[in-house]
Structure 1
Amino acid sequence: MKTLKDAKPGETVKLVKYHETGDIGLRRHLLGMGFVKGAEIKIKKVATLGDPIEMSIKGYDVCLRKEEAENIEVE
């Protein structure tokens, strides 16, 4: 099982599902921004200490913290 936190800069991944342990409010917010099942996410860069992770999805640039990214399963 690979999470969004494990993706490397330059890699494009596909959202598979959200883990049940994640924050439901954050999940709703991300769904509204296009983080839906099957969406392609391109990892742009990861900060020096691994937090935050900058990515592009559906034309938007978004930054997520490690704790948020580890609740999103990708392939």
Structure 2
Amino acid sequence: MEQEIITHLREMAIGTHGYIVGYDKVFRGYQGKLLSMGLSPGTEFILVRQASKNWPLMIEVKGNLLRLSKPEADALCIEYN
């Protein structure tokens, strides 16, 4: 059985599937916005693009692409295996 790892989006490889498990306490101010985007605990996603200097991070959730700024992405605690 594979072990699940709790981490942040910036530490994942492109194409990795994961689940949202919560929100980082340091970035709690983003929780409401993330919830309004449908990013609640238990939500499954695929990392499509890593954040770079000029581009936001992108994830796919239920067939929709969502752009996340670095602080928004850092607010998510995720799990993947």
2:44 is aligned, of 40, 47, 66, to 40
Query: Which sections of structure 2, spanning at least 5 residues, go unmatched?
Result: 1-5
The separation in 2 between residues aligned to 1:48 and 1:21, in whole angstroms, is 22
Matches within 5 A, 1:9-48: 9-24=14-29, 26-48=30-52
Query: Which sections of structure 1, spanning at least 5 residues, go unmatched?
Result: none
The separation in 2 between residues aligned to 1:12 and 1:50, in whole angstroms, is 24
What amino acid maps onto 1:3 in structure 2? Answer: H
Residues 18, 73 of structure 1: 8 Å contact kept: yes
Scaled by the length of structure 2, what TM-score is found?
Answer: 0.75
Match of 1:65 in 2: 69
The separation in 2 between residues aligned to 1:47 and 1:17, in whole angstroms, is 20
Alpha carbon RMSD of aligned pairs, Å? 2.0
> Which structure has greater helix proportion?
2
- Name segments (4+ residues, structure 1) moved above 6 Å: none
Scaled by the length of structure 1, what TM-score is found?
Answer: 0.80
The number of equivalent residue pairs is: 74
